[in-house]
Structure 1
């Protein structure tokens, strides 16, 4: 089975840097797979907050992750600084597919890439349309 080549930094639209921690490494001396997901999720949440998308409190938007996946290309671990790139290849009526790439330190190729499909929902977990101001924010990372 052939694998897609790792993505390059230039293929992503926005970046968020996050340091790795000593506890992120596993017994093999590299970052545990679950930590990659945590970094992806944190980087996306911080990007959303930086762009005025409320995730907590009474104004919070309720995004549910309905699908996700990760492809690993090379090892990373403490004390690497991870630069998480974000891009948006698809925006539907109520859903988004956000792709993320993790880049170790100053490397140009991703050590891991992930995607999240999120659906905006109401308090009853029913899909609702993405409002225009939110579409404008996400359009900034559209590919």
Structure 2
């Protein structure tokens, strides 16, 4: 099986820094794979909040995660800081595919990379619905 090359910082449009925590390390001395998915979720939601798109309690539509994946290229560990990069690779009428890279602070190549797919759905019926104009404009700004 061939392995894709690790993404580089230039592949991403938005950045957030996270500090690793003692509890993030697993028995093997590196950040456990489940923590990467927490970073993915926090990164995307922080981007949405900063753009006034996500109203957790009252917003309509809401965005549900329908798919994620992650490939690992190198380890991260506590103590340390990581930079999480975000871009969009596809924006559909009611879905978006984000690309996410996790970098040890200062590294040019990603330690891990993955994708995260959101689908816009109505709050009450949970049925797909088109992105509102403000969402569509913001999501397109993330396109690479």
TM-score by length of 2: 0.95
- Could you report, residue by residue, the CA deviation over 1:45-97 in whole angstroms, capped at 9, with x for unpaired residues? 11111111124122354111111111011010111211110010100010000
Query: Structure 1 residue 137 and structure 2 residue 124: aligned?
Result: no
State the 4+ residue runs in structure 1 displaced beyond 2 angstroms: none
Structure 1, unmatched stretches of 5+, are none
Structure 2, unmatched stretches of 5+, are none
- Distance in 2 separating the partners of 1:132 and 1:60: 13
TM-score by length of 1: 0.96
- Distance in 2 separating the partners of 1:82 and 1:60: 32
Once the two structures are TM-superposed, the CA of residue 12 in structure 1 deviates from its matched residue by 0.5
| Contact 2:61/2:129, CA 8 A, preserved across alignment | no
> Hey, what does 2:24 align to over in structure 1?
24
| Contact 2:45/2:54, CA 8 A, preserved across alignment | no
- The alignment covers a number of residue pairs equal to 143
Residue 43 of structure 1: SS of its match in structure 2? helix
Give me the CA root mean square deviation. Answer: 1.1
> Hey, what does 1:96 align to over in structure 2?
96
